[in-house]
Amino acid sequence: MIKKFREKERAIKLRKKGFSYNEILKEIPVAKSTLSLWLRDIGLAKKQKQRLTEKKLAAAKRGYEARRRQRLLLTQKIQEEAQKEIKNINEREIWLIGIALYWAEGAKQKENNVSQKVRFSNSDPKMIRIFLKWLQDVCKIPREDIYLRISLHRSATSRLAKIKKYWVEITKFPINHFQKIYWKKNKINTKRKNIGKEYFGLLDISVKRSTNFNRKIMGWIEGICKNCGVVQR
């Protein structure tokens, strides 16, 4: 009885210090039902409640970080296995990839604008590199016929030098090959992740005297559709 009484007193003291039930049970090995009976009338001061809240938040954060690490490891494993499925890519495959990219992100000719030149816009550096490779290596567009323009929000004015250097490194085109910066008038969408130091704007790639080339690309797109059974032959 004396031992139980001492255990109860100790449990009450620990509880008043803000210890959780699980923490107390590690110090005093009794049944949880017994501990609940001992502590049912023990109130907690604001400071002790705050300690418990902070510990719960810390435990939740540790759990989140552990799950996040697991997701990252799983993502890495899936991506590494998927990369192995993409063997060597030949010129014809790069040609088809470029057509699909332009279909998604390129400027198309319309009834009210039948003289639209080839123009491709994106902010993804890898996509930009693939499209430039497609233009030069596959479609044999001379380098001097390709010109580039950076589109930016005014919020990036102070980082202009870094942004120019970034796109020069991505494209391997000298800065004098770039046209005048196009400044966007609307406010940047704050829901986007690529803001602040991660924001490098949008790169426009245009080809000189490329109206007929654009028409040819549209023909390639239609050819893909027909040979995939999307439209009737």
Q: How many domains does the chain have?
A: 1
Residue 151 has pLDDT above 90, yes or no: yes
Residue 214, burial from CB neighbour count under 10 angstroms (0-12, 13-18, 19+): buried
SS3 120: strand
58 HSE (CA, 13 A, CB side): 6
**Does residue 158 lie within any of the structural domains?**
yes
Q: Tell me: the pLDDT tens digits for 131-141?
A: 999 999 999 99
41: confidence class by pLDDT, cuts 50, 70, 90: low
**Does residue 20 lie within any of the structural domains?**
no
**Does residue 139 lie within any of the structural domains?**
yes
**Does residue 192 lie within any of the structural domains?**
yes
Q: What is the pTM of this model?
A: 0.71
Neighbours of 215 (CB within 10 A): 14
The listed range with the strongest mean pLDDT (16-30, 38-52, 156-170, 174-188) is 156-170
Q: Tell me: the pLDDT tens digits for 105-123?
A: 999 988 777 789 999 999 9
On average, the pLDDT of the chain sits at 86
**Does residue 195 lie within any of the structural domains?**
yes
Rounded to whole angstroms, the Cα distance separating 101 from 131 reads 7
**Does residue 36 lie within any of the structural domains?**
no
